[in-house]
């Protein structure tokens, strides 16, 4: 009896496995006469659905390539990619958002677009991209990454709180960081002796934005020197430290921007913890959702505005840009198919409408002026005025994390240093700290440069 | 048995152990030897390793002296281990002793105190992020009555057990608290060991007029010493291997300001973010030597304080 039951269970199990296997083979079936392009990305949820949609549209538009999008967790994305490259089975296209382009290019982990696409098309792509988008992918005069969505930071503000504090209409733009300081001071509130609302608080991760705004550069491409102790960067850090001096390290750490305690990681501006906050364009969705919820409940709708970083008074750059980029791993089986998909996504060669539709669906900033100016996208911008401001800022001189091998660690170490300075009341010599970091990163970058680059290593191939 | 069947017998033996042997060779011996070789090379996973001699080991010594990079991670791990291991041993023994009392609901309490160690690490890490939030966390809600400025926990770079910022708890202290939450496993082992202590020892002590403190000091603790020794070694290994919880609470960076950068995370970042597999291998080997030395030291010292069935080994 027992044996019969076991046998029946085994048969049922085998049946389930067979049905499951058949389903998998059906979903992975490649249409006849089409070449597969495997695309790894880390989008999931609503963003993942948008990616699936654009992949479907691309596949429908094609009779040669077929993109198979694979969504995977972003945490160990790099590790999986390197193992796949080392194992000789990388995907054909990946999406990344860390400052790794120069590093991976130097080590030969990725193809330059010049290696996989006709020269004319690469040149066309370079002129198609906004300067800020292009800056995220160019290394050693070659295009190693194509930006597919820009991330721009600007100062969101609660109009009600700011206007109450100023007792006048909020300015359209801030004239200087000093004006931001004044507003921050006026909007900072204490209840029963305890801090209850922050006017503005610099995020430790954003020395990368404030440094250039103060006129500084983190790296001198001409000399190959790390310039973390650039006078203007020291000034920017000193300015950020001013907030710690006024509020205390404890308050700075407690009111940190990436506040985990808020339900669903709620945007602190909506929780009225901040009056002004530096964040990216993706927060527009949160603000609009909150405003819509207020309307639905017949509650007063809180108005919000956006300021660009006040760079003019310091003659600095407009801010810091990063974003998602497409990369084609070396030894990819179908780099040409990947290039076709890149062109489709970015809207090149008559795909502006598709690209506009994609950006509007995801609330993503187009990487090309033509897409941003297309009728479809303008309709979207008219309905989303806050977002329109970010699209406007994307066309200004935003600078990325330096494109240099080792930039990923450089990014991390700068953030560590700023945290150390902001989260501790101990007085430190900022110039000395930045100089020590400068030296450490120079050693790190020099160590990488001592290796033969991929191009040198394979010169005889 | 004929010679032929003996041979067959031997071969079938090898055949049966071959999956294990294959696993050992591929997943243990090969990485073990490869990492030793890589520790003397510059290797980025993508191109062939390049011999650099003892450069990485020199860098490790330099970083230890400067207290940066590996030096910082080593200190963080040492602090974490030095605080969390004794506390977890004390807590586990204390709980085990209490749960050994014959009271009503003993099984319920045993289950209750063991339950937290069954919660998956990711879930408990997220839970602790909320509990230890400096502003809205429940822990600071309670500590608010004692502290003027409550601890920053995972947002703080302070070290609550150091002389520079006594009782100002930071991220490593938060991790320590998390490790105590999972003390149920250790507690269970102590509980089993307590059941094994001969009741006649306590009876003899009582006849000699010993109180509960003396009985605990001179009977319970010595009889538990092999388990304490075992948990001590296990605790050291777990401290060095702590990764998931550190990765989650520090968003994979060791933040704030590398205060929660334990060695396992530093090794991961070095190997897979900075692509310095050679240097990461050297770190792993230094760690192996440090662990081996610590274990050897503990074994040596165990002669003085570990008692097996009342006999000091």
Q: Which two tokens stand for residue A158?
A: 């609660």
**What mean pLDDT do residues A24-40 have?**
78
**What mean pLDDT do residues A236-252 have?**
93
Q: Does any domain span residue A6?
A: no
| Pair (A214, A287) in one structural domain | yes
Mutate to test the interface with A, among B53, B256, B271 (most CBs of A within 10 A): B256
Give the separation between CA A457 and CA B48, rounded to whole angstroms: 10
| Pair (B20, B126) in one structural domain | no
**What mean pLDDT do residues B24-51 have?**
93
| Pair (B251, B105) in one structural domain | yes
Higher pLDDT, B7 or A342: A342
Q: Does any domain span residue A132?
A: yes
B219 in Cβ contact with B205 (< 8 Å): yes
| Pair (A137, A262) in one structural domain | no
Closest partner residue to B47 (CB to CB) among A107, A256, A259 is A107
| Pair (A304, A352) in one structural domain | no
Mutate to test the interface with A, among B275, B276, B278, B282 (most CBs of A within 10 A): B275
| Pair (B8, B112) in one structural domain | no
Q: Does any domain span residue B45?
A: no
Ramachandran area for residue B256 (φ above 0: left; ψ -120 to 50: alpha; else beta): beta
Q: Which two tokens stand for residue A97?
A: 């958002």
Q: What is the ipTM of this complex?
A: 0.85
Give the three-class secondary structure for A274: strand
User: Given this model, what pLDDT does residue A24 score?
Assistant: 55
| Pair (B26, B81) in one structural domain | no
| Pair (A202, A169) in one structural domain | yes
| Pair (A230, A136) in one structural domain | no
User: Given this model, what pLDDT does residue A258 score?
Assistant: 56
Q: Does any domain span residue A4?
A: no
**pLDDT tens digits along B94-103:** 999 999 998 8
Nearest CA in chain B to A105: B46
Q: Do the strands A138-139 and A142-143 form a parallel or antiparallel pair, or are they unpaired?
A: antiparallel
Q: Does any domain span residue A214?
A: yes
- Chain B residues closer than 8 Å to A451 by CB: 42, 44, 47, 50
**pLDDT tens digits along A154-163:** 999 999 999 9
User: Given this model, what pLDDT does residue A312 score?
Assistant: 80
Closest partner residue to B133 (CB to CB) among A78, A109, A261 is A261
Looking at chain B, which runs of residues are DSSP E strands?
41-42, 50-51, 307-308, 311-312
- Please name which of B266, B262, B288 lies closest in space to residue B83, comparing C-alpha atoms: B262
Closest partner residue to B149 (CB to CB) among A75, A250, A255 is A250
pLDDT exceeds cutoff 80 at A3: no
DSSP string, A235-249: HHHHHHHHHHHHH-H
User: Given this model, what pLDDT does residue A350 score?
Assistant: 84
| Pair (A313, A168) in one structural domain | yes
User: Given this model, what pLDDT does residue A348 score?
Assistant: 92
- Chain B residues closer than 8 Å to A417 by CB: 257
Q: Does any domain span residue B96?
A: yes
> Which CATH number fits the domain that encloses residue A298?
3.40.190.10
| Pair (B16, B88) in one structural domain | no
| Pair (A243, A378) in one structural domain | no
| Pair (B152, B227) in one structural domain | yes
| Pair (B20, B77) in one structural domain | no
Higher pLDDT, A351 or B243: B243
| Pair (B137, B273) in one structural domain | yes
Write down the H helix ranges in A31-158. Answer: 45-61, 77-86, 101-107, 113-116, 119-128, 131-135
User: pLDDT tier at A260 (50, 70, 90 boundaries)?
Assistant: very low
- Chain B residues closer than 8 Å to A79 by CB: 272
Between helix B121-131 and helix B171-181 the angle, nearest 10°, is: 130
Q: Does any domain span residue A82?
A: yes
Q: How many domains does chain A have?
A: 2
Domain of A293 in residue numbering reads as 153-320+403-450
- Chain A residues closer than 8 Å to B255 by CB: 415-416, 419
Sign of CA dihedral B222, B290, A409, A231: positive
User: Given this model, what pLDDT does residue A27 score?
Assistant: 54
pLDDT exceeds cutoff 90 at A299: yes
Q: How far is A260 from chain B (nearest CA, A)?
A: 7
Q: Does any domain span residue B48?
A: no
User: pLDDT tier at A383 (50, 70, 90 boundaries)?
Assistant: very high
Distances (CA, A) of A133 to A24, A117, A370, A393, B178: 38, 19, 13, 12, 43
Given A358, A380, A399, the domain boundary residue is: A399
**pLDDT tens digits along B136-192:** 889 988 988 888 888 999 989 989 888 777 888 999 999 999 999 989 999 999 999
Q: Does any domain span residue A109?
A: yes
| Pair (A187, A286) in one structural domain | yes
Q: Does any domain span residue A19?
A: no
Closest partner residue to A451 (CB to CB) among B42, B130, B134 is B42
**What mean pLDDT do residues B2-15 have?**
85
Given A366, A383, A399, the domain boundary residue is: A399
**pLDDT tens digits along B235-253:** 999 999 999 999 999 988 9
| Pair (A381, A413) in one structural domain | no
| Pair (A367, A407) in one structural domain | no
Higher pLDDT, B86 or A23: B86
| Pair (A194, A281) in one structural domain | yes
| Pair (B100, B220) in one structural domain | yes
User: Given this model, what pLDDT does residue B313 score?
Assistant: 55
**What mean pLDDT do residues A286-293 have?**
94
pLDDT exceeds cutoff 60 at A460: no
Closest partner residue to B134 (CB to CB) among A107, A253, A412 is A253
Exposure string of B149-165, with b = 16+ CB inside 10 Å and e = fewer, is ebbbbbbbbbbbbeeeb
| Pair (B209, B89) in one structural domain | yes
**What mean pLDDT do residues B295-301 have?**
94
Average pLDDT, chain A: 90
**What mean pLDDT do residues A110-122 have?**
96
Q: How far is A86 from chain B (nearest CA, A)?
A: 6
Domain of B160 in residue numbering reads as 55-312
| Pair (B221, B78) in one structural domain | yes
Q: Does any domain span residue B226?
A: yes
Q: Which two tokens stand for residue A133?
A: 């988008």
Q: Does any domain span residue B64?
A: yes
Q: How far is A376 from chain B (nearest CA, A)?
A: 38
Between helix A335-346 and helix A45-61 the angle, nearest 10°, is: 110
User: Given this model, what pLDDT does residue A1 score?
Assistant: 62
**What mean pLDDT do residues B260-287 have?**
94
Q: Is A282 on the interface with B (CB under 8 A)?
A: no
> Which CATH number fits the domain that encloses residue B162?
1.10.3720.10
Q: Which two tokens stand for residue B16?
A: 């049966």
| Pair (B146, B200) in one structural domain | yes
Q: How many domains does chain B have?
A: 2
| Pair (A393, A254) in one structural domain | no
């Amino acid at each position: 009896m027992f044996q019969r039951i076991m046998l029946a269970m085994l048969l049922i199990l085998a049946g389930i496995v067979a049905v499951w296997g058949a389903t998998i083979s059906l979903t992975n079936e490649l249409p006849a006469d089409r070449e597969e392009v495997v695309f790894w990305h880390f989008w999931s949820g609503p963003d993942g659905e948008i990616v699936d949609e654009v992949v479907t549209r691309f596949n429908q538009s094609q009779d040669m390539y077929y993109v198979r999008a694979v969504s995977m967790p972003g945490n160990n994305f790099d590790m999986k990619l390197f193992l796949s490259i080392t194992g000789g089975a990388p995907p054909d296209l990946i999406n990344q958002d860390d400052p790794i382009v120069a590093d991976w290019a130097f080590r030969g982990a990725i193809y330059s677009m010049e290696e996989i696409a006709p020269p004319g098309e690469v040149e066309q792509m370079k002129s198609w991209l906004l300067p800020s988008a292009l800056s995220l992918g160019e290394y050693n005069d070659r295009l190693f990454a194509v930006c597919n969505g820009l991330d721009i930071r600007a100062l969101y503000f609660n109009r009600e709180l700011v206007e109450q504090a100023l007792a006048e209409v909020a300015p359209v733009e801030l004239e200087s960081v000093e004006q931001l300081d004044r507003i921050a001071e006026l909007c900072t509130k204490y209840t029963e002796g305890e801090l209850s609302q922050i006017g503005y608080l610099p995020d430790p991760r954003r020395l990368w934005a404030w440094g250039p705004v103060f006129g500084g550069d983190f790296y001198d491409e001409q000399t190959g020197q790390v310039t973390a102790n650039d006078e203007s960067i020291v000034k920017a850090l000193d300015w950020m430290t001013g907030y710690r001096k006024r509020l205390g390290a404890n308050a700075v750490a407690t009111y940190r921007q990436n506040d985990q305690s808020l339900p669903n990681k709620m945007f602190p501006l909506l929780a009225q913890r901040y009056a002004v906050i530096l964040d990216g364009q993706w927060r527009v969705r949160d603000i609009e959702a909150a405003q819509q919820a207020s309307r639905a409940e017949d509650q007063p709708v809180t108005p919000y505005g956006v300021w660009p970083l006040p760079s003019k008074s310091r003659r600095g750059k407009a801010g810091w840009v990063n974003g998602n980029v497409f990369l084609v791993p070396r030894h990819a089986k179908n780099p040409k198919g990947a290039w076709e998909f890149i062109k489709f996504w970015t809207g090149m060669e008559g795909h502006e409408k598709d690209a506009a539709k994609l950006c509007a669906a995801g609330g993503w900033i187009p990487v090309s002026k033509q897409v941003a100016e297309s009728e479809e996208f303008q309709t979207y911008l008219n309905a989303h005025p806050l977002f329109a401001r970010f699209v406007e800022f994307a066309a200004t001189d935003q600078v990325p994390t330096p494109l240099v091998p080792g930039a990923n660690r450089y990014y991390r170490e700068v953030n560590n240093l700023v945290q150390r300075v902001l989260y501790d009341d101990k007085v430190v010599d900022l110039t000395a700290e930045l100089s020590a970091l400068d030296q450490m990163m120079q050693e790190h970058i020099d160590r990488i440069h001592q290796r033969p680059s991929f191009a040198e290593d394979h010169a005889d191939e | 048995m004929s010679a032929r069947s003996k041979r067959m017998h031997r071969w079938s033996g090898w055949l049966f152990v071959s999956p294990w042997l294959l696993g050992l060779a591929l997943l243990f011996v090969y990485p073990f030897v490869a990492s030793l070789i890589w520790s003397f090379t510059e290797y980025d996973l993508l191109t062939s390793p390049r011999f650099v001699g003892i450069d990485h080991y020199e860098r490790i010594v330099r970083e230890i002296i400067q207290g940066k990079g590996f030096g910082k991670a080593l200190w963080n791990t040492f602090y974490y281990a030095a605080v969390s291991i004794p506390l977890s041993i004390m807590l586990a023994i204390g709980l085990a002793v209490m749960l050994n009392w014959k009271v009503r609901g003993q099984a319920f309490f045993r289950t209750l105190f063991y339950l937290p160690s069954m919660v998956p690490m990711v879930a408990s890490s997220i839970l602790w992020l909320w509990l230890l939030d400096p502003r809205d966390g429940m822990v600071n809600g309670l500590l608010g009555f004692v502290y003027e400025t409550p601890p920053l926990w995972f947002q703080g770079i302070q070290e609550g057990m150091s002389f520079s910022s006594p009782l100002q708890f930071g991220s490593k202290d938060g991790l320590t608290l998390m490790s105590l939450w999972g003390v149920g496993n250790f507690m269970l082992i102590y509980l089993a060991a307590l059941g094994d202590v001969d009741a006649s020892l306590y009876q003899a002590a009582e006849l000699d007029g010993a109180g509960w403190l003396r009985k605990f000091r001179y009977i319970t603790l010595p009889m538990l010493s092999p388990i304490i020794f075992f948990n001590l070694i296990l605790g050291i290994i777990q401290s060095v291997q702590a990764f998931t919880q550190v990765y989650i609470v520090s968003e994979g960076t060791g933040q704030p300001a590398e205060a929660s950068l334990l060695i396992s995370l530093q090794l991961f970042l070095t190997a897979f973010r900075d692509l310095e597999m050679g240097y990461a291998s050297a770190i792993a080997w230094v760690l192996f030597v440090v662990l081996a030395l610590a274990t050897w030291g503990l074994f040596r010292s165990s002669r003085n304080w570990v008692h097996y069935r009342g006999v000091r080994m």
